[in-house]
Amino acid sequence: MAKIAVQNAGASLGGYDPGSRLPTFLAARAAFLAGRSTPRMLLEESLERIARLDPVIQAFCFLDVPGARAAADAATQRYAQNRPLSPLDGCPMGIKDTIHVRGMPSKMNSAVYDDTPVRFDAASSYALRQAGAVLLGKTHVPEFAMGKSPPTRNPFDARRTAGGSSSGCGAAVGAAMVPIALGNQTGGSLIRPSSFNANYGFKPTHGALNVGGMHPIAPSQDHIGPMAASLADAWLTAWEISTRIGGHNGHPGLSGAPAVPRALKPLRLARLDTLGMAQLDEATREAMAQMCHRIEALGVGLLDRDCNDAIAALEDLLLEADDVSDRIFVYELRWPLVAYVDANGPEAISATAKARLERGLAMTPADYRQALAKRDRIRAQVALVGQQVDGFITLASSGPAPFDGVDQAGTVDRPNAHLSTGSRSFLSPWSMVGGPAFSLPLMAVDGMPVGLQVMGTADTDYRLTAVARWLDENCG
């Protein structure tokens, strides 16, 4: 399944229908190989759409049009010679502004950095460039991906947030400006905006994709991953990064094969309600209930806390997930924020970032050890339940994108501004667990997308992709 295309550039950009489809890059590549289109033609379609829609949506904070056209022309020539560099050759892509791209600034919605272009690619950007991807531009983020909110609008309703912190990535893909964008996640920053913007979001296992050259937030939970128009596009992007540059922090990278795996029907899935269930409106609760009924009607066993003591124990542990994740988050983000303040004064960072930094500075090593120990207990319980099931499911957000009150003229900066981009309660558990997770755009609530989150234990990415494919093909 995929998303409805944006209909116009008015205040409300069109409702969402889970049964409609966006053009994928794999379909565009088939047209390249058949001689019906070229990478330059695809890029011009993206640029036309950006020119028409981005004045409202504001997904991009920087575009390198000359560089993108040169890259697309080179890819067009390679296809003409039947010598593409990879299955991603010629794909126009947006890159989250926390990830370095050579020749583009990395400002991260902050006054600390200026318009000076960086001189080297992040590991992931380098891999994508080597694969022939057309790195079109940088996408908006909250300050340092955790501070004051960006101006980005939701493509399905411009009164709503696009989510955070991969705000621009989610909106750019949801509006069909690009078929693929590269985001990251520490708490809920990739899966949540994927849900809000009807992307196929893929957060691989922690460390499976190299995060070198990405602005650090909480390194023990920092992930990068693709947000795409299809599951196949998402897997292909992750694979190309992994196979060309490897994993991070001693991780060898993804295992599996370059092409998206065949659909695999799961025998049993664990349904997790988590703390987020208390935050749901009735319409979202009903949409998830209907999705679970549909999965069960297809012959898949859904296990929950009422029938499985191990799941009950896991859910009890996950009641602390938001708090545990946040404590790890604020302790680890102390650097480089303290360096920014030391070099530039306390006004160098926003009130939003300052509030989080102050909480991190107030923590002791003993506080941090306690949070890590609780995370270890959660991971151990996930591994125990994971031996009994083929994956876990829950919501990818606590409902559709909320109305956040941010207009197109400015951004939100207050101590809890990050909360205006949506709750993390369905997301923080798997950021801590470090296993793979997908957001599949299979539900609509009040005309807005809501994703089904599919999760697995660490290093089961390829098999989980096969399970996600089966759910995508059968449950939309």
167 is catalytic: no
Closest CA to 203 of 452, 438, 1: 438
Q: Is 84 helix (H, G, I), strand (E, B) or coil?
A: coil
Q: Is 346 helix (H, G, I), strand (E, B) or coil?
A: helix
Is the preceding omega at residue 336 within 30 degrees of 0, hence cis?
yes
- What pLDDT sits at residue 433? 96
C-alpha atoms less than 13 angstroms from C-alpha of 289 in its C-beta half-sphere:
8
Indicate which residue of 189, 325, 398, 431 is catalytic: 189
CA distance 420 to 140: 15
Indicate which residue of 3, 37, 86, 96 is catalytic: 96
- Mind giving me the DSSP string for 364-425? -HHHHHHHHHHHHHHHHHHHHHHTT-S-EEEESSSSSPPB----TT----STTGGGGG---T
Beta strand residue intervals within 117-161, DSSP E: 134-139, 153-154, 157-161
CA distance 235 to 203: 10
325 is catalytic: no
Could you read off the pLDDT tens digit of each residue along the chain, which spans 476 residues?
A: 333 233 333 334 568 888 887 899 999 999 999 999 999 999 999 999 999 999 999 999 999 999 999 999 999 999 999 999 999 999 999 999 999 999 999 999 999 999 999 999 999 999 999 999 999 999 999 999 998 889 999 999 998 999 999 999 999 999 999 999 999 999 999 999 999 999 999 999 999 999 999 999 999 999 999 999 999 999 999 999 999 999 998 999 999 999 999 999 999 999 999 899 989 999 999 999 999 999 999 999 999 999 999 999 999 999 999 999 999 999 999 999 999 999 999 999 998 899 999 999 999 999 999 999 999 999 999 999 999 999 999 999 999 999 876 554 455 665 555 556 778 899 999 999 999 999 999 999 999 999 999 999 999 999 999 999 999 999 98
Burial class (CB in 10 A: 0-12, 13-18, 19+), 63: middle
Structure tokens at 71: 């890259």
Encode 332-359: b = buried (16+ Cβ within 10 Å), e = exposed.
bbbeebeebbeeeeeebbbebbbbbbeb
Radius of gyration for the chain, computed over Cα atoms and rounded to the nearest angstrom: 21
Helix axes 25-34, 231-245, angle to 10 degrees: 80
| Residue 242, amino acid | S
Domains of the chain, with CATH numbers? Answer: 25-245 (3.90.1300.10), 268-474 (3.90.1300.10)
Indicate which residue of 106, 165, 397, 423 is catalytic: 165
- What pLDDT sits at residue 419? 55
- What pLDDT sits at residue 406? 57
Report whether 171 contacts 9 (CB < 8 A).
Answer: no
- What pLDDT sits at residue 2? 35
